[in-house]
Amino acid sequence: MRKTDNCSLFTVHCSLIKNIPMNEQQFNQYTQLIGLFLYCNNEEEREKILQDNAAIIDEQFITFLEKYARFLAEKGQRDKANKVTQLFQFLYEELILTPCVYLIDTLLSCSNQEELMETLQPRFRTSKCSIKNT
């Protein structure tokens, strides 16, 4: 594909996949990564792809997957849309849902406020949020 074709593809996709701020480089990284996942044959290969691309697999990528799957479905590319949806569901569960469930379970097991604060404090050290003991 020529560079001009790629730029127009980026423009078309970005206009259809709204509310995800990204540049052309991110778009290309995301679509290449999706391509790797679409053609991997087993879980071991998928794990290697996850490890090799951990730096770009984040919440924005997961949101991109969800919207990209809808875009493919609307364009009649059902097989690809289903595979992208499966990837979205897998990554959402592994990277977002599971850590949230773990955190909730941990917080529910705290026996008092002091233990709760000790559990929460490390999570907020680097954020703009602050936790006040009352």
Residue 2 has pLDDT above 50, yes or no: no
- 81 close to 72: Cβ distance less than 8 angstroms: yes
Residue 23: both structure tokens together? 């540049």
Residue 28: both structure tokens together? 């290309």
The answer as to whether 82 is a domain residue is yes
Residue 96 has pLDDT above 80, yes or no: no
The answer as to whether 100 is a domain residue is yes
The total domain count for the chain is 1
The answer as to whether 131 is a domain residue is no
Q: Residue 11 sits in which domain range? A: 3-124
The answer as to whether 112 is a domain residue is yes
18 confidence band (pLDDT: 50, 70, 90): low
The answer as to whether 113 is a domain residue is yes
- Neighbour-count burial of 76, counting CB atoms closer than 10 A to its CB (0-12 exposed, 13-18 middle, 19+ buried): exposed
Tell me the per-residue pLDDT of 30-69, one tens digit each, with 9 for 90 and over: 888 988 888 888 889 988 998 899 888 888 898 889 888 9
Residue 13 has pLDDT above 70, yes or no: no
The answer as to whether 14 is a domain residue is yes
The answer as to whether 129 is a domain residue is no
